[in-house]
Structure 1
Amino acid sequence: MRRFLPSLILLGVALAQPKIEVKDAWVREVPPNSRSSAAYMVIENQGNEPDKLIGAKSDISKVAEIHETVGGKMRRVKYIEIPAGKKVELKPGGYHIMLIDLKKPTKEGQQVELVLQFEKSGQVKVNAPLKKGIGKMEEHHHH
Structure 2
Amino acid sequence: MNRRRTALAGVLALTTGLGLAGCSSGSGPELEVTGAYLPQPVSDMAAGFLTVRNSGDTGDRLTSVTSPLSDDVTIHETKDQKMREVPSFEVPANGELDLERGGNHIMFMKLKKQPKQGEKVSVELHFEKADAITVDLPVKETTHNPKKQ
- Smaller-chain TM-score bracket: 0.7 to 0.9
Cα distance between partner residues in 2 of 1:123 and 1:115: 6
TM-score, normalising length: structure 1: 0.84
Task: Name 1:9's counterpart in structure 2.
Answer: 21
Alignment of 1:92-107 (within 5 A): 92-107=101-116
Deviation beyond 3 Å, 4+ runs, structure 1: 1-5, 133-136
Cα distance between partner residues in 2 of 1:124 and 1:135: 24
**Shift of residue 121, structure 1, vs aligned partner:** 0.5
8 Å contact 1:46–1:84 — kept in the other structure? Answer: yes
**Shift of residue 124, structure 1, vs aligned partner:** 1.0
Task: Report whether the alignment pairs 1:18 with 2:29.
Answer: yes
Answer with 1 or 2: which has the greater Rg.
2
Task: Name 2:140's counterpart in structure 1.
Answer: 131
Cα distance between partner residues in 1 of 2:72 and 2:95: 28
Distance 1:84 1:101, change over 3 A: same
Range moving further from structure 2, 126-135 or 99-108: 126-135
Task: Name 2:3's counterpart in structure 1.
Answer: none
Q: CA RMSD in A?
A: 2.0
Q: Give the secondary structure class of the aligned counterpart of 1:130.
A: strand
Task: Name 1:139's counterpart in structure 2.
Answer: none
Task: Report whether the alignment pairs 1:117 with 2:132.
Answer: no
Q: Give unpaired runs (5+ residues) of structure 1.
A: 137-143
Would you tell me which structure has more helix in proportion to its own residues?
2
**Shift of residue 13, structure 1, vs aligned partner:** 2.3
Distance 1:128 1:134, change over 3 A: same
Q: Give unpaired runs (5+ residues) of structure 2.
A: 1-10
**Shift of residue 11, structure 1, vs aligned partner:** 6.0
Q: Give the secondary structure class of the aligned counterpart of 1:99.
A: strand
Equivalent residue for 1:30, pick from 8, 26, 41: 41
Task: Report whether the alignment pairs 1:44 with 2:53.
Answer: yes
Q: Deviations over 1:57-84 (max 9, x none)?
A: 0121121100011122110011101110
Cα distance between partner residues in 1 of 2:68 and 2:24: 37
Distance 1:30 1:49, change over 3 A: same
Q: How many residues align?
A: 133
Cα distance between partner residues in 1 of 2:79 and 2:144: 17
Distance 1:114 1:95, change over 3 A: same
AA in 1 matched with 2:50:
M
